Chain A
Amino acid sequence: MSPVVTLDWTPVCPLDRLDLDRGVAALVDGVQVAVFRTAHGLYAVDNLDPVGGAYVMSRGLVGSRGGVPTLASPLHKQVYDLTTGRCLDLPGVTLTRHRVRCRDGQVEVRLRQEQ
């Protein structure tokens, strides 16, 4: 596994600001992060669409494929596994994931950048 660089946890918003199954964008240490609240839990990934190159992933639709929670790019609909970041439609493409948790009703994000 590649070395992982992390910063501190950054509070982003209250949990109830997040609609179920709808994402928001947040700025964390200068990086655009897409944060989702689903029935499976909270997820944070890079807001950058690795295929389209625009910062739009927070506007994708979440769902499931074969029981795995997924996120579809709003640009060209490639579907990503939210638990691994792996693109399920295009081999070799990965969406950067970040860490997210809920503390005292606040959603917090910590960057995780994999080489």
Chain B
Amino acid sequence: MSELIVVGNGMVGQRFVEALRARDTDGRWRVTVLAEERRPAYDRVRLSAVFDGVDADELTVHTPDAGVDLRLGEPATGVDRARRVVTTAAGEYPYDALVLATGSYAFVPPVDGTDLPGVFVYRTLDDLTAIREHARGRRTGAVIGGGLLGLEAANALRLLGLATSVVEFAPRLMPVQVDEAGGAMLRRYVEELGVTPYLGVATTALRPGPDGTVAALDLADGRTLDAELVVVAAGIRPRDELARAAGLPLGPRGGVLVDAACRTADERIWAVGECAAVDGVCHGLVAPGYATAEVVADRLLGGAATFPGADTATKLKLLGVDVASFGDAHGVTPGCLDVTYTDPATRSYAKLVLSDDARTLLGGVLVGDASAYPALRASVGGPLPAPPLALLAPAGGAGAGAGALPAGAQVCSCNAVTRADLDAAIAGGAADVPALKACTRAGTSCGSCVPMLKQLLDAAGVRQSTALCEHFDHSRQELFDLIRVRGIRTFSRLVAEHGRGSGCDICKPVVASILASLGTGHVLDGEAASLQDTNDHFLANLQRDGSYSVVPRIPGGEITPEKLIAIGEVARDFQLYTKITGGQRIDLFGARVDQLPQIWRRLVDAGFESGHAYGKALRTVKSCVGDTWCRYGVQDSVGLAVALELRYRGLRAPHKLKSAVSGCARECAEARSKDFGVIATEGGWNLYVGGNGGFRPRHADLFATDLSTAELVTLIDRFLMYYIRTADRLQRTAAWIEAMDGGLDHLRSVLVDDSLGLCADLDAAMARHVTSYSDEWRDVLEDPDRLRRFTSFVNAPGVPDPSISFTRERGQPVPARDAGHRRQPVALGLPEVRR
């Protein structure tokens, strides 16, 4: 058996080992890997996903292999070619073949102050951990370098809540990938995200503040930027120091010089990935790196593979913007022609580079809408698949809101406020929703019209703050990202670091819901209990008389006679008013807070769990009886409804969520009036999204057709998680989609085509929800600390609330209206008090 030493355990080093092990079926090589980092190979391309809440362990690309001796945290320090040994701090490793996979390091330009605390590079998971730590409590950040990695780092700083600048020496962002006009479009996107670019200017010095950490960045044009955290992303350089010290030839711009077989001048030493200068050229992308790994694995087993040449085509998502470049993107081919398309409305830019006869596609650049990328990239070197304009014109989309209502339409039906009333108030100076509420009373009762108040302000051209309330300048989505990315788990820390004051009935439930969506524990644990609206606090629905209603979950509306009897017995024994709901379950009214645990003890014992009727959460998945019984049914709608309801139960969202499944096109389950509705077809399931009943009924739109059950579930997973992450407070799915730039088409591109590169995260987030679900009511019954909240009076826990009393109507208890409304307390021994 021969000894093979691999220096480096990055993505390419790992790929090489796996390729070799897979093909070395005779066991010709014993493999030892010497790795500098203490963590086995991980996906460096997705490094930034850590800031999207992805666990570092999820990035690993290493598969344990007992046949490989992986030595973590033991970097090679030297190569003795004469004795054929690699040395480390721990000892010597003899080799018959040596593969260098040392990758590259971040280039730090020779600028004063780059050694200050608070200055980082963006290369390893440890770098990212250090950046996150340093960002805590700081407000400003800067990135040196406006290339691909620099913009990724800028997005990370932005997600960490820092006001972020990017300094780029070239006159445009991403100078390697995009041309000038593409760079200009990119700049607009970047600025809209609140990142400030400084282009065509060099950084001359970083300067410390009084505490010795970096505080400012000086530019060559005399300007100075505040920067309490600086990331240097000015390019990478191959790590060729081992080869250099061993006397191996290097490439003209560094890198271990190898031939097309990836072999160095020493026939026993090979180089792969970013450290290799293949025929003198280093490649900084992972795809060419993988190609070198395959070449060397083949060669070591007697093959004759050669490096096929690098495909430098790239498509990526930077700061939420699609950017793609491929082929001769800069048009350097002699005589070539450019076809460019710039659309400020859809904010997209595209350029195709054609041969001088305009028949052959040579390359191109896409910014903003890269949906044409796969087809174009495949066409490089061949004829155009369609006329250039047809290839480049993006698909559009639009939506209408309350702005389309006529003047006489009643916007707030609780208080009889019409659009004309609201327009008059806006004309009179009401500039935000609270002001509109105060002068018209619209939205002060049930609150369901509040989103329309916002839309009317928009329609009138009143510029709205996205600030959630006076305690936070952030929108709900921004708060969600802050909490997720910074790992914040309490309201008090959030308001201390990113807000002001003590919170209110707007921001507290929003934060409680975000924390619950992120699966941070029971809603009544610790500080979270103080954030919950009364419904979430008592896990029941407050009614007008101060009593509560109780809704056990009945998945899909399917219930056994035994369970039906159990509910009936509970209702009878506690004298609860009983009503069948629209969501195919049973609502039990008239429970006092002190009765709730007793009622739920009985229900849980009978096999019920919380129905979350009290939460901004999934309510029910209604169903028709489906093909089990129905003569017309084509699928098992009940089975699917039960599965969906159990999958999404307990999922907290910006607003309540409803769903339904119909077993055929007759649509008896009314699925199209739901946030997500499913209708069976002969070929599978059709998915509809964005419907609701309620104040402004709306039919859901067809989103995807003839899905398998697995495809359907994946799409719903993504739909719900994307909604939870990005919707406004109290914005239902319909309004969310209507307000979305690009509407349903955009949603489809995100969830089906993964145009934002988010799907893996959304899928993982839903998987976490499904595995961490636990019945909230059972958890309360098992915990005395949670139970103590369910008390009528703190000083008289045995005394039921005397203000709750009932009369009977149609054989059931109902609140005693006259007595209940504005009833005076019996003031014992007091003189009569007049009000």
Binding site for B on A (CB under 8 A): 5, 7, 10-13, 17, 19-22, 24-32, 35, 38-40, 48, 52-56, 59-67, 69-70, 72, 74-79, 89-90, 111, 113, 115
Contact = CB atoms under 8 A, between A and B. Distances in A.
Given A32-B803, A65-B504, A89-B437, A75 B793 contact: no
A112 to B, nearest CB: 11
20 contacts: A26-B795, A26-B796, A28-B795, A30-B825, A30-B826, A30-B828, A32-B801, A54-B545, A54-B546, A59-B534, A59-B538, A61-B509, A61-B531, A63-B507, A64-B502, A77-B444, A90-B444, A113-B827, A113-B830, A115-B834
A63 B508 contact: yes
B388 interface: no
Contact of A60 (B501, B505, B825): B505
Contacts of A76: 444-445
A4 B803 CA distance: 25
A24 B791 contact: yes
Contacts, number: 128
B781 interface: no
A22 B820 CA distance: 25
Given A12-B794, A21-B530, A55-B801, A77 B830 contact: no
A19 B529 contact: yes
A48 B829 CA distance: 20
Given A29-B829, A55-B546, A67 B530 contact: no
Contacts of A64: 471, 501-504
Interface string B487-520: 0000000000000011111011100000000000
Interface in B520-548: 527, 529-531, 533-534, 537-538, 542, 544-546
Contacts of B505: 60-61, 63, 72, 77, 79
Contact of B542 (A12, A25, A28, A56): A56
Contact of B533 (A10, A61, A69, A89): A61
B447 interface: yes
Nearest to A113: B833
Given A21-B502, A59-B537, A70-B504, 19 more contacts: A20-B530, A21-B530, A24-B793, A24-B794, A25-B792, A25-B793, A27-B795, A27-B796, A28-B795, A30-B828, A35-B794, A48-B825, A52-B544, A53-B823, A54-B546, A61-B505, A63-B471, A65-B504, A72-B504
A63 B803 contact: no
Contacts of B501: 63-64, 67
Contacts of B538: 59
A63 B830 contact: no
Contacts of A78: 444
Contacts of B471: 63-64
Contacts of B542: 56, 59, 74-75
A19 to B, nearest CB: 6
A66 B469 CA distance: 11
A20 B501 CA distance: 15
A12 B797 CA distance: 11
A79 B504 contact: yes
Interface in B525-578: 527, 529-531, 533-534, 537-538, 542, 544-546
A38 B792 CA distance: 21
Interface residues of B, number: 49
Given A20-B530, A22-B530, A59-B534, A75 B544 contact: yes
B503 to A, nearest CB: 5
A39 B530 CA distance: 13
Nearest to A94: B835
A63 B799 CA distance: 29
Nearest to A57: B546
A7 B534 CA distance: 31
Contacts of B191: none
A16 to B, nearest CB: 12
Contact of B825 (A22, A32, A66): A32
Contacts of B437: 89
A100 B825 CA distance: 20
Nearest to B445: A76
A52 B822 CA distance: 8
B821 interface: yes
Given A20-B530, A32-B803, A32-B825, A69 B831 contact: no
B529 A53 contact: no
A103 to B, nearest CB: 15
A31 to B, nearest CB: 5
B470 interface: yes
Contact of A38 (B502, B545, B801): B502
B328 to A, nearest CB: 60
Contacts of A89: 437-438, 444
Nearest to A71: B505
A115 B833 contact: yes
A61 B503 CA distance: 9
A13 B531 CA distance: 22
B544 A29 contact: no
Contacts of A90: 444
B793 A27 contact: yes
B833 A5 contact: yes
B433 to A, nearest CB: 12
Given A29-B830, A31-B827, A32-B825, A63 B504 contact: yes
A90 B444 CA distance: 10
A75 to B, nearest CB: 7
Contact of A53 (B507, B794, B820, B830): B820
Given A27-B796, A76-B445, A65 B470 contact: yes
Nearest to B793: A27
A27 to B, nearest CB: 5
Contacts of A35: 794
A23 B235 CA distance: 57
A29 B828 contact: yes
B803 A54 contact: yes
A33 B375 CA distance: 70
Nearest to B537: A59
A5 B504 contact: no
A70 B505 CA distance: 9
B616 to A, nearest CB: 15
Contacts of A28: 795
A29 B823 CA distance: 17
Contacts of B801: 25, 32, 55
Nearest to A52: B544
A92 to B, nearest CB: 12
B820 A17 contact: no
Contacts of A113: 827, 830, 833
Contacts of A40: 502
Given A22-B529, A32-B803, A48-B825, A56 B794 contact: no
